[in-house]
Structures are given as C-alpha cells and as structure tokens.
Amino acid sequence: MLTEREIIQRARENSDAFGQIIDLYEGKLKRYLFRLGVMETEDQEDLLQEVFWKSYKNLNDFDDGLSFSSWIYRITRNTAYDFFRKKKSQGKLQIFSEDVYDLFWNQLKDETQDIEKKFDKKQRRKAIAIVLQKVPEKYREVLILLFLEEKSYKEISDILQKKENTVATLLARGKQKFKKLFLQKFNISDF
Amino acid sequence: MSNLKNRLLKKLKTEDVHPISKLYFVLKNAGIWILAGLFFIFSIFATALVFYFIMNLEIISLIWEAPRMIPKLVFVGVPIFWVLFSLGLVFFTGLFIEKTKGGYRRSTLFVFGGGFLLQLILGVSLSQTTLTEVMEKQLERRVNFFENVNQKKEKIWRVPEEGFLGGKILEISDLENWMLLGFRGEEWQLKLSKKTKMPQNVEFKEGQKVCIRGKLIDREARIFEVQEIFPFRGRQKELRKNMRQFQENQLKNGAGILRRVGRIKRKEALMQ
C-alpha cells in the first residue's frame, strides 16, 4: 500500500492518482467545513471542489516538511473564509453530536455544577452551540481545530500559519471567552 | 467513486490541468527573500547615515554639556526621518521574512529583534567607513529635502543664548579679541582668555569655520565670551587630522603655532 507521500508524488505526475487524495480527505474536509459553519450541502460540495482544485494546482507548493493534512486543511480553511467574506456572513449555528457536546461540557463542568442541576442536557447542548457561535472567530477556529478536529498545537500552527505560542494564547483566551459567554447565557436564562 | 471525485478528475482531464511548476514557487519564495534582503540592505545604509550624523554633530557630548539643548539637539541634530525610515525598513524586512515559506514558525523576537540588532551593528560599522560620507554627498545632490551634516551643524551652533555660537573667523586682532561672522551673517566680537579651551595642535586662521561654547555677554553689541573653541569639522575628527599635520609641520618648520603665539605676544609687549 502506498504512503501518503508516495500518493502525492504520483499525483504530481498523474491526475488519476489525485483521486486517492480525494478519497482520503473528502469526508474529513466536508465535516470540517460543516464545523466552520458551511451548512448547505451544495455549498460544501462547491467549496470542496474548489479546495481539491486548488490543492491539485498547487501540489508543487506543498512543503514536504509539513504534514499534507495540515496543508490541505489550511487551503480548506482559507477557502471557507473567502466564502464567508464573499457572502458577508459567518458560519451558522451548529448542533453538535454527543461526543462533541461532552468535549465542551468537560471544559466547563467545574464552574457549572449548579447549571447541571437546573438545566437538562438538551438545553445545555443548545447553549454550547449558541455560545460557540458567539465566540470571536479567531478563538472559535482554534477551539474547533483542537477539540473537534483533534489537531495538535503544531498542526493548528501550520493550518492557521501562526506560531505555536500564539495558538496556545488563542486557545487559553478562547476557553475563557467560551466559559464567560456560557455562564452569561445561563444567568440571562433566555433559552 | 464519489460524485465529487468523478467530476473533478474528469474536469482536470478535459481542461488538461497540471500542477503549477515547482520553479514558479521557488522563484516566488526567492522573490520574497530578495525583497526582504533589499529592504534590509537599505535599512543598514539608513542606519549608517543616522550614526554618521550623530557622530559628526557630536550630539552625545553636547547633550552632556548642555542638557537644556536636548530638544534642539534631538530635533535638529538627529535625522528623525532617517531614524523612522531605517526602523520602517527593518520592520518591513521582518514582515517579508514572516511571509516566506515557514516564516510564521520563526520567533517574532528573533526576526524583528535580531534584524534590528544586526541592522544596528552593520549600520554602525558602515558609518565608520568613507562610504557614508560619499552617500551623504550624493543624497545632498540628488534629494531636495536632504540637509547635509554641515547645514545641520550650523543650525546647532546658532544659539548664542544657550552658549552655542559658530561661524567664520573674520579677524584675529590679538590673543583675547577675535571677530567672527556668525552663521546667520551677523558679526560677533569674541572675548578669549587664558581659561579658553582650545585644541593645542590647531592653528586657527582667519576665514576658518569654528564652533564656540561660551557665554553671551551682550546681545545688542554682540559680544560673546569664549570658553571653548574648536574647528567646525569636529573636535575629534579635526584633532586626529591635525595631530598628523602638526607633527609633520613641527618636523618641517619648527613649532608653527608656538611661533605664531609668540609673535602675537611680542607684538602686545611692544604696544605696552
């Protein structure tokens, strides 16, 4: 079985080999686009096509010192943000699956014991989705990459083209912001 | 085969699309490095010019001697434009480096701090060469707004109220009374004494440009007490140059300056 690097090398010479890259990443990138807030299936398809088109054309720009996954995630992220800019909107509300909800809830549980008693899981889940939507974009994308895409700091640094220290700072601030907004949301209790 | 994959591979084939050549990306990255390099080289020249000005105007020693003159010295003497220009250039160098492939991984402190430090070291080293002097002359000729060191220096030595006076020696009547044509075109009567500091190996002549530190005695009558006098070209620079000439002269003609001073003293004794 060919390694990812070998597939890339082949794809540089023959477009058919690029099909294997599409097979490897189509699902992951579609999910990532959804998490970034591209909700319509049609938009996701269009953006994915654009992402793979750009990736193929720029295949020779891929730095072998980088992981291919980080490189293609970077292209996907930039394409999605271009799309949001053109539409003058940002990602829409997302309802996450059970495991995603648990991940974010774990970030909050120390300070939310009272909330746990007062509000049921469905309400809390909706709150997480709403709050995540309100977290400023620069923090949200780091939270998404770390908690949802399970990327390492180095990978996030390569995707966002930011230093690892900056990623760590954004993450710490993002968590704080998320907690603050979440607690505010419960105090207002308007959902 | 997924729809997307099907569609995309078909499109790539029908449109005969190929990956962009590696050379294009190599050249693109090299272009950014070249730009960064050029900005950095310019920043070194700009820094050299700043230090050339500061050294030639002897701002640092003047600041110690006359702290009240600091605002004027900084405003007139420090070429603010070139300071900002050189800092701007090194900043853009850093930005370009960050834009290179993998540039985001380099530490900001290393890129900007290191760049600044290197610029300073190379700039100061370059300012010690004759290249800066040539550069200054070229700039003066080509750039309208460029004020050369001498023009700036004249501005500093135009404040008799603060003890800074400069100009051309009109007449050396005796050891204690000289006449000076100030940089504003006004005539000054200079009062020298035994306490007046002057470089031992410099022979002052009529028509020579000088700088004087001292005290304004009468603004209306334009009388100025001289505490220190030295050639316009600068204390250190002129002294070094004159030291060599002095030694040569001494060997050739005997003590030139002493002879001249002796002559004046004899003349004074005769008059008494």
Strand (E) or helix (H) holding B218 = strand B209-218
Helices (H), B100-148: 108, 114-127, 131-142
Q: What confidence score (pLDDT) does residue A173 get? A: 93
Give the position of tokens 């807030």: A37
Q: Does domain A4-87 have CATH number 1.10.1740.10?
A: yes
The stretches of A37-163 forming alpha helices (DSSP H) are 41-57, 68-87, 98-108, 113-118, 121-134, 137-143, 153-160
CB spacing of A16 vs B19 below 8 angstroms? no
What pLDDT, in 10s, does the model give residues A87-144?
Answer: 876 655 555 556 666 666 666 666 555 666 666 777 777 777 778 888 888 898 898 8
Q: Which of A17-21, B90-94, B242-246 has the lowest mean pLDDT?
A: B242-246
pLDDT of residue A96: 58
pLDDT of res. B197: 85
pLDDT tens track for A153-164: 999 999 999 999
**B13 at the A interface (CB within 8 A)?**
yes
Q: Evaluate if residue B261 carries a pLDDT over 60.
A: no
| B100: its two tokens | 């290179």
Q: Which among A26, A56, A58 has the least Cβ separation from residue B12? A: A56
Q: Does B144 touch chain A (CB under 8 A)?
A: no
Does residue A18 surpass a pLDDT of 60? yes
Query: Given an 8 Å threshold on Cβ–Cβ distance, is B4 in contact with A61?
Result: no
pLDDT above 70 (res B16)? yes
SS3 B129: coil
Mean per-residue pLDDT of chain A: 82
Region at A150 (left for phi over 0; alpha for psi -120 to 50; beta for the rest): left
The residue to which tokens 């050739």 are assigned: B252
Q: State the ipTM, two decimals.
A: 0.75
What confidence tens digit (pLDDT) does each residue in B94-125 have? 999 988 888 888 888 889 999 999 999 999 99
Q: How many contacts does A have with B, using Cβ atoms within 8 A?
A: 63
Q: Which residues pair with B180 in a beta bridge?
A: B169, B188
Residue B225: predicted pLDDT: 93
A172-181, B19-28, B142-151: lowest mean pLDDT where? B142-151
Could you tell me the CATH superfamily of domain A98-188? PhyR, sigma-like (SL) domain (1.20.140.160)
Beta-carbon contacts of residue A64 (< 8 Å; ≥ 6 apart): A5
CB B139 within 8 A of CB B229: no
Cross-chain residue pair B24–A161, CB shorter than 8 Å: no
* pLDDT value of position A190: 41
pLDDT the model gives residue A112: 55
pLDDT of B267 over the 80 cut: no
- Domain map of chain A by residue range? 4-87, 98-188
Highest mean pLDDT: which of A156-165, B59-68, B166-175, B253-262? A156-165
Q: How large is the average pLDDT for residues B191-215?
A: 85
Among the partner-chain residues B21, B101, B105, the one whose CB lies closest to the CB of A163 is: B105
Average pLDDT over residues B55-79: 73
Query: CA torsion B131→B136→B142→B148, rounded to 10°?
Result: -170
B12 touches chain A (CB under 8 A): yes
CA pair distance A69, A65, nearest whole angstrom: 12
As a whole number, the mean pLDDT across chain B is 81
pLDDT confidence band for B44 (50 / 70 / 90): very high
Is the CB of B22 inside 8 Å of chain A's CB atoms?
yes
Q: What is the mean pLDDT of residues B198-213?
A: 84
Looking at CA atoms only, how far is residue A38 from chain B in angstroms? Answer: 17
Tokens of B200: 């031992």
Predicted confidence band of residue B56 (pLDDT cuts 50, 70, 90):
confident
Distance from CA of B8 to the nearest CA of A (A): 7
- Give the span between the Cα atoms of B70 and B156, in whole angstroms: 11
Closest CA to B4 of A45, A177, A80: A45
Rounded to whole angstroms, how far apart are CA atoms A66 and A167? Answer: 17
pTM for the full predicted model = 0.69
Share of chain B above pLDDT 90, in %: 28
Q: How confident is the model at residue B262 (pLDDT cuts 50, 70, 90)?
A: low
Of residues B268 and B230, more confidently modeled? B230
Q: Contacts from A4-9 at CB under 8 Å and sequence distance 24+?
A: A4/A68, A5/A64, A5/A68, A8/A59, A8/A62, A8/A68
| Residue A189 confidence class, pLDDT cut points 50, 70, 90 | very low
- Nearest beta carbon to residue B25 from set A45, A56, A60: A60
Q: How far apart are CA A147 and CA A145, in angstroms?
A: 6
Question: What sign for the dihedral angle of Cα B231, B234, B237, B240?
Answer: positive
Query: Cβ contact (<8 Å) for A18 and B12?
Result: yes
Residues of B in contact with A63 (CB under 8 A): 101-102
Q: Does the pLDDT at position A191 exceed 70?
A: no
Angle, CA A157 vertex, CA A154 and CA A162 arms, to 5°? 150
Residue in B9, B20, B105 closest to A57 by CB: B20
